[in-house]
Amino acid sequence: KLYCSSSEPHTQLYQCSGRQLPPYFLLLQCDSKENFLFHRRSDVLMMTPWFAPIVWEGTYNSEILNEQFRRRNVTVGLTVFAIKKYTVFLNKFLETAETYFMVGHRVNYYIFTDRPEEVPKVPLKEGRNVVVLQVQNYPRWQEISMRRMELINSFSQQRFINEVSYLVCVDVDMRFNDQVGVEILSNLFGTLHPHFYAAERQSFTYERRPASQAYVPRDEGDFYYAGGFFGGTVMEVYKLTKKCHEAMMVDKAKGIEAIWQDESYLNKYFVYYKPTKILSPEYLWDDDLGRPEILKKIRFLALPKNHAAIRNK
Residues contributing to the annotated binding site = 81-83, 86, 171-173, 193, 205, 263, 286
Residues assigned a catalytic role: 263
Q: How far is CA 222 from the centre of its chain?
A: 17
Collapsed DSSP state (helix, strand, coil) of residue 162: helix
Question: What DSSP character marks residue 312?
Answer: T
**How far is Cα 185 from Cα 232, in angstroms, rounded to an integer?**
6
DSSP string spanning 172-222? SSEEE-S-B-GGG-SSEEEEB-TTTTTS-GGG---B--TTSTTB--TT--S
Collapsed DSSP state (helix, strand, coil) of residue 227: coil
Q: Detail the residues annotated as belonging to a binding site for UDP-N-acetyl-alpha-D-galactosamine.
A: 81-83, 86, 171-173
Ramachandran region, residue 113 (left: φ > 0; alpha: ψ -120 to 50; beta: rest): beta
AA letter at 105: H
